[in-house]
Amino acid sequence: MQRSVADVLNAIYEQDFLPCSMGGRPRLGAHHALSTFNEVVSGRKVSWVLEADLKNFFGSLDHGWLLRFVEHRVGDPRILNLIRRWLKAGVMEAGELQECEEGTPQGGPISVVLSNLYLHYVLDLWFECKVKPRLKGEAWLIRYIDDFVVCFQYRSDAERFMNVLPQRLEKFALKLEPDKTRLVRFGRFASRGEDDRRRFTSLALRTTAQGI
């Protein structure tokens, strides 16, 4: 049943998802994220890259927000009720069923599509519609499920974004993973000798530097 609902959601949201989103979508994957990242840093005015990861992402999604996001495009009460049941189903811990108040059902086919849908509203649309128009230079978001990088032309834009990003995420019960989030000088327009491309550790993009 989860697979059927996941297919329905994918069919609905595929036309809405932005090009920056590479994970959990038909015919898209990590290699598309790598290819896009290569194209951006090689052919665009990129000097700085924010590499980010979300802390306990799948276990932190707020059910209320998630259902509100689904209701933007899904009006069938049967599908909404099924999603509610799966979200509240809980997990087995030490032989006991623990109800879930947050997060998505791990390992199920519905988990990835719901997670991608969540970040479509929380991150992708916000960056494209609210953040980019306010920046001084060019910027690109590339996301593979909960791993993402943001490429900037100017350091000042990158630092402004880093200041507002935690507040945006906190509104939706998300936090950055400090050990996996950093700003590095990177790209074709980075000063010679200061390019940190071989220090990238992002799970989704860790092999990127080898192809540039």
pLDDT tens, residue by residue, 34-63: 888 888 988 889 999 999 999 999 889 999
pLDDT tens digits along 134-182 = 999 999 999 998 899 999 999 999 999 999 999 999 999 999 999 989 9
Non-local (6+) Cβ contacts of 90 within 8 A are: 97, 98, 99, 100
In this prediction, residue 145 carries a pLDDT of 86
Average pLDDT over residues 120-127: 98
Q: What is the pLDDT of residues 107-116, one digit of tens each?
A: 677 888 999 9
Asked whether the beta carbons of 30 and 144 are under 8 A apart, the reply is yes
pLDDT level of residue 92 (50, 70, 90 thresholds):
very low
Q: For residue range 188-211, what is the model confidence (pLDDT) as tens digits?
A: 655 544 445 444 545 345 433 333
pTM, two decimal places: 0.84
Phi, psi dihedral angles at 148 (to 5 degrees) = -150, 155
Residue 4 has pLDDT above 60, yes or no: yes
Q: How high is the pLDDT of residue 210?
A: 36
Average pLDDT over residues 93-121: 76
Higher pLDDT residue, 56 or 96?
A: 56
pLDDT at 187: 63
pLDDT at 133 over 90: yes
Angle between helices 109-119 and 77-88 (to 10 degrees): 100
pLDDT of residue 202: 52
What's the rounded Cα separation, in Å, for the pair 3 and 9? 10
**Cα three-residue angle 167-173-174, rounded to 5 degrees:** 70
> Dihedral sign, CA of 155, 157, 163, 166?
negative
